[in-house]
Amino acid sequence: MSAGWITVAGLGPGDAGLVTPEVTQTLAQATDIVGYTPYVERVPARPGLTLHPSGNRVEPERALAALEIAAGGGRVVIVSSGDPGVFAMAAALFEVIEAHPRFLALDIRILPGITAMLAAAARAGAPLGHDFCAINLSDNLKPFTLVEQRLRHAARGDFAMAFYNPRSASRPHQFARVLEILREECEPSREMVFARAVSTPEERLTLTTLAEAHDEMADMRTVVIVGNAATRRVGRWLYTPRKAGAE
Domain boundary among 114, 135, 156: 114
What's 15's domain CATH number?
3.40.1010.10
**Rounded Cα gap, residues 39 and 79, in angstroms:** 6
Domain boundary among 114, 148, 182: 114
Q: Where does the pLDDT of residue 1 fall: very low under 50, low under 70, confident under 90, or very high at 90 and above?
A: very low
Contact by Cβ (8 Å): 14, 198: yes
Q: Would you say residue 191 lies in a domain?
A: yes
Domain boundary among 80, 97, 114: 114
Residue 82 pLDDT more than 90?
yes
What digits encode the pLDDT tens for the residues 159-169?
A: 999 999 999 87
Q: How many domains does the chain have?
A: 2
Q: Would you say residue 245 lies in a domain?
A: no
CB hemisphere CA count around 192 (13 angstroms): 23
**Helix 89-99, helix 59-71: angle, nearest 10:** 70
Residue 8 pLDDT more than 70?
yes
Do residues 110 and 121 both lie within one domain? no
Q: Where does the pLDDT of residue 69 fall: very low under 50, low under 70, confident under 90, or very high at 90 and above?
A: very high
Arithmetic mean of pLDDT, 80-97: 97
What digits encode the pLDDT tens for the residues 199-232?
A: 999 999 999 999 999 999 999 999 999 999 999 9
pLDDT at 247: 54
DSSP letters for 39-66: HHTTSPP-TT-EEEEE-TT-HHHHHHHH
Do residues 38 and 12 both lie within one domain? yes
What digits encode the pLDDT tens for the residues 102-143?
A: 999 999 999 999 999 999 999 999 999 999 999 999 998 999
Q: Where does the pLDDT of residue 47 fall: very low under 50, low under 70, confident under 90, or very high at 90 and above?
A: very high
Residue ranges making up the domain that contains 101: 5-114
Do residues 66 and 150 both lie within one domain? no
- Number of helices and strands in the chain (H, E): 7, 13
Q: Which of 47-51, 56-60, 85-89, 186-190 has the lowest mean pLDDT?
A: 56-60
Q: Would you say residue 246 lies in a domain?
A: no
Q: Would you say residue 196 lies in a domain?
A: yes
**Rounded Cα gap, residues 5 and 30, in angstroms:** 9
* Radius of gyration for the alpha carbons in the chain, expressed in angstroms and rounded: 20
Contacts of 201 (CB under 8 A, 6+ apart): none
What's 230's domain CATH number?
3.30.950.10
Contact by Cβ (8 Å): 177, 214: no
Q: Would you say residue 12 lies in a domain?
A: yes
Residue 177 pLDDT more than 90?
yes
